[in-house]
Chains A and B, each alone.
Chain A
Amino acid sequence: MSRSCLKFGVAAALAILSAPMASAQEAVNADEMAALCHGGGLSTCVSATIPAAGTQAVQGWMSPEIGAAWAAGYKGKGVTITIVDDFSSTSRFSGNFGVGTQTQRHGEWTREEAGMIAPLATIRSKDFSTGSAVGLAPGLNVLNLSYGMYAKAGYSSNQIGWASEEASIISYATKGTAVVSKAAGNDSVAVGGITNGQQDYLDLALIGKPSAIFVGALSTNGTTTNKAQLAWYSNTAGSNPVVQSHFLVVGVDGGKTGLYGTSFAAPIISGYAAIIGSKFTKATPTQITNDLLNTARTDTLANYSASVYGKGEASLSRALAPVAIR
């Protein structure tokens, strides 16, 4: 690994961001039904099977705000969420999003979650082991990144020789051509911080990008009367004001789902972005990003501090509401 060009060995460097206590993992045979797109070029394809896509019910793990989210029938229609994740490994684990216990791959979980938040969004699956560039669909795009790219600490992000996959994602976040929802990480450090001599360089590369959002996890959904705390494993916003201004938190109610980790926080923001995009059909990804960031609540959080919670807990209802009306 040269100093000027740190090339990730994709298979070795990818780290999915479900917390270590996620349900017992088990290795089973490859799922023939999984929607995968291998090969070069823009290898994104539409998922063939999304287990929960037809289950449009508000689940206990969802924010109470979702309860009213679908009343008007707008559930992310016209927006494409691309899940960049693991859809091909033999590693699977169990959980329950309220539709019965399932055992599936990490990407299948995050895909299912995003699809449940925004049932009418088009959900695409992009297997991150391919390393090929992520393509954008017509209309508004949301990219869900429930993984990190870890390597030895000490490099700057511009020293990294990114694979086409991450290079495309970083480019979209830089140009504001897609909302990029990035799981903050599960090391209980600030975004981009060092753990065991390793850093998440994808975090570092996305800092300051206009349409990137880092998503931390709360242990529950917060309310003004029952304020939420940051989940013990979740990375924080840290002291960098640039990170703080693009950091949100959402409830990851692992007690109900058996699924823990900021991996399951990012898809909630992806779903929210899709719902906002289905309401404001001409909005740009950067506008949607700013809307989510600017309407986050701090009064639902215990001992709010920007260095911990960033902008605060995402509020879908406020993100959809007017600033003023007359």
Chain B
Amino acid sequence: MREKSGSRVRFGMMALLLCALIGASPAAAQEMTTSVVDIHQGSPLSDRARSLGNGGYELQNGTFVSFNQWYRAHWVDMHVDLLTQITEDTGILWGFGTGEEGEKYRIEPSLKLGFLTQMHPSPNSTLSLSLTTTIGGKLTEKACEADYGDFGTYSVNCRLAASRMAPEETLKYLVNAKPESQHIWLNYRVTF
């Protein structure tokens, strides 16, 4: 697990480096320039994973089990968004997310693709439209193995293992969530 986290950090660093190089490329590629549009860590799914860590329960012997240990990550999902300009008014939007992983969940790496186009209804106004789609980036919650003594050992939802719910029923409540897969952005700007 620690190795995985480490490789994810290295991946993130490499991504940053790549971004810096690409961002510096306009001078090299005069007709197709690529710019970094946004770099940020965290996402709605990251927040959701973190929120799963709220709470806990006691085992049969009274030992408190906190969910927090299962739903924290050493590396928070980093997203890098880039724009490669093709013509004066069109460009390709692309980017990636590094994903993140905790002991009981994983957000897989993601790839973002799309385009941006703009037009000028008047000399001092710009109408922009962008459409992006995201591939991957799914949040998957992992199951726990709970030992119920004489009742046996079950694969369970870690968070619901001590609930009144039958062990096998708890698996229905494992979180499986997809990121926002498509995003349309329309912008009209007037300069005066």
Contacts and interface: CB of A to CB of B under 8 A. Distances in A.
Contact of A317 (B148, B149, B151, B162): B162
Using C-beta atoms within 8 Å of the partner chain, give the interface range for chain B. 20 to 34
A227 interface: no
Contacts of A320: 162-164
B83 interface: no
Nearest to A316: B164
Contacts of B139: none
A320 B164 CA distance: 7
A325 B163 contact: no
A322 B62 CA distance: 10
A281 B161 CA distance: 15
22 contacts: A72-B160, A72-B163, A74-B166, A275-B164, A283-B151, A291-B149, A291-B150, A291-B151, A294-B60, A294-B149, A295-B60, A317-B57, A318-B62, A320-B163, A322-B60, A322-B147, A322-B148, A322-B156, A323-B61, A324-B147, A325-B65, A325-B147
Contact of A322 (B150, B162, B164, B166): B162
Given A70-B164, A71-B164, A324-B59, 19 more contacts: A69-B164, A74-B164, A74-B165, A279-B164, A279-B165, A280-B151, A280-B167, A281-B166, A283-B150, A294-B149, A317-B58, A318-B58, A318-B60, A322-B59, A322-B148, A325-B59, A325-B147, A325-B156, A325-B161
A270 to B, nearest CB: 16
A325 B144 contact: yes
Contacts of A281: 166
A71 B160 CA distance: 11
Interface string A273-294: 0010011111100010011001
Interface in A45-92: 68-75
B144 A280 contact: no
Contacts of A279: 164-167
A287 B151 contact: yes
A322 B150 CA distance: 10
A3 interface: no
A134 B70 CA distance: 48
B80 interface: no
Interface string A306-326: 000000000001111111111
A230 B62 CA distance: 22
Contacts, number: 88
Nearest to A319: B60
A72 B60 CA distance: 19
B146 interface: yes
Nearest to A286: B150
A322 B148 CA distance: 5
Interface in B46-73: 57-62, 65
B158 interface: yes
Interface in A224-265: none
Nearest to B144: A325
